[in-house]
Structure 1
Amino acid sequence: MEYQKLGASDVTVSRITFGSWAAGGWMWGGTEQNDAVGAIRASYELGVTSIDTAPIYGQGLSEQIVGEAIKTLPRDKVQVLTKFGMRWDDTKGDFGFKSKNNDGQDIDVYKYAGRDSIMRECEDSLRRLGTDYIDLYQQHWPDVTTGIDETMEAVQRLIEQGKVRAAGVSNYSVPQMAEAEKTIHLASNQVPFSMVKRGIEQDVVPFAQQQGLGILVYSPLQLGLLTGKIKPGQHFGDGDLRNGNPLFTADNVQKVNAFLNKLRPMAESKSATLAQLVIRWTLAQPGITVALVGARNPEQAVQNAKAIDVQLAAEEVDYISKQLAGVQVA
């Protein structure tokens, strides 16, 4: 495994980090807790020491699963990355969206990052995770109803109390990062990035490089689209966020699969899967510190972790990028 420090913090993370959104079941069509715990532990055995979670994932379930998984692991060898600022149990802040919980009940999700709310959220997360500190505490989404200074002052207070080691943000723009940096030293920004979703290369990545911040990218496999396993016209059940997602139209899936087929000989020559090749290419992109990759069972987790063993020469990265340039998804 490869490891990298996040910004100027003293938190070092594994470049492949376990993303536990799917493990919480929410928006992924349910979960099997034993499989998820096993997946985290299997990842750890292969050097994936960092686990990213959030209270909103399964409305606490994902954090509980992470807490169960790390119970038998040495705490100082594991980095727990969680978040705050998405409330399903309160109506303050900026209304985000309507959703359903794992029981199929309607919930309203609000983006809220007021001082008192953060303090309460931190205590709830620590309890669910079964730990007394969080390695990286990230604001999940910007909250337009609360000043960034108030939010970051609260996180700074948690750092002073020893409950948080480093501050991060997620889905922040360049102006928002710059505003946050006036109050606190950010370690990282967690943002979406994949072969077919590369918007952060325009401004977020250059700013992070200039400021020395880590970039954690989520959905590098684009919800499975870049694994080569999705078929045109494939059906996704109710509660699965891919159901109705425009990226998963038959036409887009066909275009992406045609591109992936061009990479298949390279993957086979390295005894790698297409997904492993995609993860490795992602980590080779300038400014990308970490790829967050989810798994719902130990087998998937092992495959993800082994992506780090795939060696890509500079000309191979270039070849993939050139083939990718011809892929236009709507």
Structure 2
Amino acid sequence: MGAPKNASATPSRGSRGRGVSSFRRWRPRTRRGRASRGAARRRCGGFGWSGWISTSSTGEGGGGLGEVVEGMEALVARGQIRRWGVSNFDVADMEELWRLPNGRNCATNQVLYHLGSRGIEFDLMPWMAARGVPVMAYCPLAQAGKMHGEIFANNVVRTIAARHHATIPQLLLAFVIRSGNVIAIPKSGSVAHTMENAGADKIELTDEDIRQLDEAFPPPKQKVRLDII
């Protein structure tokens, strides 16, 4: 699943605060489906949706980031969304956002993050953690990139997963959420798949696990361009 460009469903919150969320758009095509969606939103008090600002939403032809933020704040004030966040914002983008009135109301920043794409660990993740803003990691299993096969076939990954009696997806999700300030939103096509993903919350990676994963998929030693799918 790639980064959303418009309004998207609010991610679920885990009871332990280390998030592995099922995150899907609901776009019913039938009259009955649309009625069901409307009823569900009314039961939630109209707060079933969040707004997203992507970097592509603030470029040419628009009024800039400040105007988009104020538009999101207006939706919050009218009760049409509960919170809003941003997508594919790097440190410079977040700093610009933080200088704006109401910019610090941003709930999260959704970016690509998985074992094979760790560029945000160098500066973006520390920046967000210092300000108490969670990272929302899309494609945490590298499911939309060319590294998916390489990661899943890696002997270190397989060995550590077996050590924890976990599946490879569970291990990869545990790696992504290990800091406590990252919410993972893996694609989930069934209840069983969702429950398997949720099992990642029970895995506690050791220092040795992290050392071995760092050797196999090294963390960044300098600033790198933000990966986007």
Whether the TM-score (by the shorter chain) exceeds 0.5 is yes
Alignment match, 2:46: 132
Alignment match, 1:279: 173
Alignment match, 1:256: 151
1:55-76 deviation line (CA, Å, top 9, x unaligned): 8xxxx459x9899689779966
Alignment partner of 1:209 is 2:102: no
| Amino acid corresponding to residue 47 of structure 2 in structure 1 | Y
CA distance in 1, matches of 2:216, 2:35: 42
Give yes or no for contact 1:141–1:170 (8 Å, CA) kept in 2. yes
Cα distance change, pair 294–213 in 1 and its aligned pair in 2 (3 A)? same
Displacement of 1:279 in angstroms is 0.6
Higher RCO, 1 or 2 (CA under 8 Å, sep at least 6)?
Answer: 2
5 Å matches for 1:51-90? Answer: 53=25, 60-61=27-28
- TM-score w.r.t. the length of structure 2 is 0.71
Give yes or no for contact 2:176–2:182 (8 Å, CA) kept in 1. no
CA distance in 2, matches of 1:140, 1:301: 26
Cα distance change, pair 174–69 in 1 and its aligned pair in 2 (3 A)? same
Alignment match, 2:223: none
Secondary structure in 2 matching 1:13: coil
5 Å matches for 1:1-330? Answer: 13-14=13-14, 15-20=19-24, 53=25, 60-61=27-28, 132-134=46-48, 136-143=50-57, 144-145=59-60, 146=62, 147-181=64-98, 182-184=100-102, 185-223=105-143, 247=146, 253=149, 255-259=150-154, 261-284=155-178, 286=179, 288-325=181-218
Cα distance change, pair 323–204 in 1 and its aligned pair in 2 (3 A)? same
| Amino acid corresponding to residue 212 of structure 1 in structure 2 | G
Give yes or no for contact 1:195–1:282 (8 Å, CA) kept in 2. yes
- CA RMSD, Structure 1 to Structure 2 (Å): 3.4
Secondary structure in 2 matching 1:265: helix
Displacement of 1:214 in angstroms is 1.2
Gaps of 5+ in 1: 1-10, 21-52, 77-130, 224-241
Secondary structure in 1 matching 2:193: helix
| Amino acid corresponding to residue 183 of structure 1 in structure 2 | P
Displacement of 1:196 in angstroms is 1.0
Cα distance change, pair 74–277 in 1 and its aligned pair in 2 (3 A)? farther
CA distance in 2, matches of 1:75, 1:314: 45
| Amino acid corresponding to residue 16 of structure 1 in structure 2 | V
Give yes or no for contact 2:177–2:184 (8 Å, CA) kept in 1. yes
| Amino acid corresponding to residue 159 of structure 2 in structure 1 | P
Give yes or no for contact 2:138–2:185 (8 Å, CA) kept in 1. yes
1:52-104 deviation line (CA, Å, top 9, x unaligned): x4x8xxxx459x9899689779966xxxxxxxxxxxxxxxxxxxxxxxxxxxx
Q: Report the structure, 1 or 2, having the larger strand content.
A: 1
Secondary structure in 1 matching 2:186: strand
Give yes or no for contact 1:282–1:288 (8 Å, CA) kept in 2. no
| Amino acid corresponding to residue 93 of structure 2 in structure 1 | Q
Give yes or no for contact 2:41–2:47 (8 Å, CA) kept in 1. no
Secondary structure in 2 matching 1:321: helix
The number of residues matched between the two structures is 197
1:122-177 deviation line (CA, Å, top 9, x unaligned): xxxxxxxxx61245322244320221111000111111122222221111122222
Cα distance change, pair 179–221 in 1 and its aligned pair in 2 (3 A)? same
Identity of aligned residues (%): 22
Displacement of 1:186 in angstroms is 1.2
Displacement of 1:317 in angstroms is 2.6
